[in-house]
């Protein structure tokens, strides 16, 4: 049994992924589940984004997207589709990277996942170094409370839970507030708008559980 599990975050730029391309045309942040690779090389995608009717139009016009389905609510649009574009993340999956979340914004993607043991991490890092446009953002040991029931209980994504935790630890919710959204975003390594979007979605999930 391997005792050590590591959490790694990578940034992907220049992949020409349809979701990344879409965020260059529509200024939204897309939260995606891990892409599912089919035997024929096509990829099944499931993702959400803030309500914006421009995004479905951009994706529908993309020749690499097929069978696009959109579920619209006042709070978010949920998308399911097939992508004919091979996803670069599978190159890391093939060497042991366990994708847990992906977020697309500003023409690129940030992915977070687990690596079991340093030996696997070395293989993942070597593959990342050979793949154009992938850069390691950070890596740290999986804490004993990393897989707590907090996120599941409140229906939060790992990115949303992390954003709330960092914001709380920095004093963003203190009164009077001395920490700005930009301060928290810098600590997280994301844009201010991406942090505020995560915060809004996390609040919606929490309130949804509280008030049914």
The model's confidence at residue 2, banded by pLDDT at 50, 70 and 90, is low
Tell whether the model's pLDDT for residue 165 goes beyond 70.
yes
Closest CA to 99 of 186, 159, 167: 159
- pTM value surpassing 0.95: no
Measured distance CA(152)–CA(162) in Å, rounded: 13
pLDDT (tens digit, 9 = 90+) per residue, 18-38?
999 999 999 998 988 888 989
Domains defined for the chain, CATH in brackets = 5-141 (no CATH), 150-211 (1.10.10)
Instruction: Average the pLDDT over each of 107-121, 134-148, 174-188 and give the range with the smallest value.
Output: 134-148
For 27, the 3-state DSSP assignment is coil
Q: What residues contact 154, with CB distance under 8 A and at least 6 apart?
A: 202, 205, 206, 209
Measured distance CA(184)–CA(98) in Å, rounded: 26
As a whole number, mean pLDDT of residues 110-126 equals 85
What does the DSSP assignment read for 108-164? EEEEEEEEESHHHHHHHHHHHHHSTTEEEEEEEEPPTTTT-SHHHHTT--HHHHHHH
């Amino acid at each position: 049994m391997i005792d050590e599990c590591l959490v790694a975050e990578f940034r992907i730029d220049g992949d020409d992924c349809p979701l990344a391309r879409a965020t260059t045309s529509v200024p939204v942040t897309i939260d995606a589940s891990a892409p599912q690779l089919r035997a024929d090389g096509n990829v099944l995608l499931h993702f959400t984004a803030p309500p914006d009717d421009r995004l479905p139009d951009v994706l529908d016009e993309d020749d690499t997207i097929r069978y696009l389905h959109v579920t619209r609510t006042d709070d978010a649009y949920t998308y399911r589709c097939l992508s004919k574009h091979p996803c670069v993340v599978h190159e890391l999956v093939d060497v042991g990277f366990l994708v847990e979340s992906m977020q697309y914004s500003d023409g690129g993607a940030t992915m977070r996942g687990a690596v079991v043991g340093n030996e696997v991490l070395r293989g993942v890092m070597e593959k990342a170094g050979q793949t154009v446009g992938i850069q390691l953002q950070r890596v740290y040991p999986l804490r004993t409370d990393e897989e707590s029931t907090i996120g599941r209980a409140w229906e939060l994504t790992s990115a949303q839970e992390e954003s709330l935790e960092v914001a709380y630890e920095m004093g963003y919710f203190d009164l009077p507030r001395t920490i700005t959204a930009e301060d928290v975003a810098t600590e997280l390594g994301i844009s201010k708008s991406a942090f505020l979007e995560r915060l809004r979605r996390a609040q919606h999930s929490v309130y949804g559980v509280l008030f049914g």
